[in-house]
Amino acid sequence: MAIRPFNTHTPAIDPSAYVDEMALVIGEVSIGVDSSIWPMCVVRGDVNSIHIGEASNIQDGSVLHVSHRSESNPEGFALIIGNRVTVGHKVVLHGCRIGDDCLIGMGSVVMDGAIVEDRVMLGAGSLVPPGKTLESGYLYLGSPVKRIRKLSQEELDYFSYSARHYVKLMQAHRNTV
């Protein structure tokens, strides 16, 4: 695995987390208990911080980045991913906030300053524009994203199932290396 410091920051990765040997993690990044970063992911905390909570999974080919601090935006935009979040294949998360128990569908893009509240399902290929807030408990889809409907109990239950499944899967991968 490629884990690199940048300037004065070295990634802080919980010992229980899994970072695939073909992933890249740079700079001011923290990865929580039982979280996983899969092949060909880039997690680049070079100009602001990235925090990934517990039991979250960042699937193959995803790109996680941030926005720098500037005169017009003194804080920039850090990237914060909550607990038990499933981030599908080839997702771009850029300087946004993802709450707990969410599913971000394959190929989606979430832009600077966007907030995805807890318990949201974002359909594959969706675009969440800068500064947009997605309210808890709903399915969102489209480019730009639109609220589609309330999530069913089965869909809400899927969030914890997906997180548990990926914890088991990363343990199996770790045991084969």
Per-residue model confidence as pLDDT tens digits over 99-112: 999 999 999 999 99
**What phi and psi, each to the nearest 5 degrees, are found at residue 117?**
-70, 175
Residue 86's pLDDT band, with cuts at 50, 70 and 90, is very high
Whether 1 contacts 25, CB under 8 Å: yes
Per-residue model confidence as pLDDT tens digits over 53-77: 999 999 999 999 999 999 989 999 9
Q: How many residues does the chain have?
A: 177
Residue-averaged pLDDT of the chain: 97
Per-residue model confidence as pLDDT tens digits over 141-173: 999 999 999 999 999 999 999 999 999 999 999
* Long-range pairs of 101-109 with CB within 8 A, sequence gap ≥ 24: 101/156, 101/159, 101/160, 101/163, 102/159, 103/158, 103/159, 103/162, 106/59
Residue 176's pLDDT band, with cuts at 50, 70 and 90, is confident
Residue 175's pLDDT is 85
Residue 177's pLDDT band, with cuts at 50, 70 and 90, is low
- Domain of 106 in residue numbering reads as 2-176
Share of the chain above pLDDT 70, in %: 99
CATH number (domain holding residue 106): 2.160.10.10
Per DSSP, the residues of 151-166 read: PPHHHHHHHHHHHHHH
User: How many domains, the chain?
Assistant: 1
Q: In sequence order, which residues have a C-beta less than 8 Å from that of residue 29 and are 6 or more positions away?
A: 9, 11, 12, 13, 43, 45, 49, 50, 51, 52
With residue 174 as reference, give the H or E element that holds it.
helix 153-176
Residue 174's pLDDT band, with cuts at 50, 70 and 90, is confident
3-state helix, strand, coil in the chain (%, to 5): 15, 40, 45
Spatial distance between the Cα atoms of 3 and 14, rounded to a whole number of angstroms:
13
Average pLDDT over residues 80-94: 98
Average pLDDT over residues 17-35: 98
pLDDT at 1 over 60: no
Share of the chain above pLDDT 90, in %: 97
